[in-house]
Amino acid sequence: MTNNYIPNIRMENAQIVKKNFSGEKYGDGQRNFGVLIPDEMVEALQRDGWNVKFFLPRQDDPTQHQQAWLPVKMKFGQYPPSIILVTSRGQVQLNEFTVSQLDRTRIASAQIEIRPYAYPAIKGRPAGVSAWLNAMVAIMDEEYRPVENPFASQYSDVPTLEYDQLMREFNERSRR
């Protein structure tokens, strides 16, 4: 790893793997996912110290190409990532309470910006660079969209509420 400035990574048409947006998959509460790394980026990322990983080849085909991927961490704190889900009906800004729906959503592609965090060598662990999500626009794969609700047309005259608005109204009612 060099001691030079490490720029953010921007990727168009990124493929998301190992989704754990809820933080519940491994029981540790840490939200993360993986992004496939194009072959032409692998060497430069490794040279800068990024934590690039490789999928193991299938046992029935040991000559299979080893696909590189980068584990990306997420944290909703003082500076949360900006995450937008785009569907054929529009876009929605996701927050720490709604981002978990991406675990169950087929994502066709994504545009992402990842920021580096260079950490020092400590107690035998080598220095490196971890990846943190800065911004993402996830495009929902509409071909695998769940079956439409057969009862929805009965309520077409009822206004649609945003999740935040619904929760505010629910909280107001529960305080009474």
pLDDT, one tens digit per residue, over 73-110 is 999 988 899 999 998 888 999 999 999 999 988 999 99
pLDDT for the residue 147: 64
Question: Any idea what the CATH number is for the domain that residue 62 is in?
Answer: 2.40.50
148: its two tokens: 């439409």
Phi/psi class of residue 127: alpha, beta or left (left: φ > 0; alpha: ψ in -120 to 50)?
beta
Within a domain: residue 107?
yes
pLDDT for the residue 1: 46
**Residue-range definition of the domain harbouring residue 142:** 9-147
Lowest mean pLDDT among 22-31, 109-118, 166-175: 166-175
Rounded Cα distance between 2 and 8, Å, is 15
Sequence-separated (6 or more) residues with CB below 8 Å from residue 118: 1, 6, 49, 127, 128, 129
Within a domain: residue 159?
no
pLDDT for the residue 3: 54
Within a domain: residue 96?
yes
Within a domain: residue 172?
no
Rounded Cα distance between 167 and 155, Å, is 20
Within a domain: residue 168?
no
Within a domain: residue 40?
yes
- Do 23 and 31 touch, CB atoms closer than 8 A? yes
Per-residue pLDDT tens for 16-52?
999 999 988 877 779 999 999 999 999 999 999 899 9
Within a domain: residue 157?
no
Within a domain: residue 4?
no
pLDDT for the residue 145: 56
Q: What's the pTM? A: 0.74
Query: How many folded domains does the chain comprise?
Result: 1
- Do 37 and 25 touch, CB atoms closer than 8 A? no
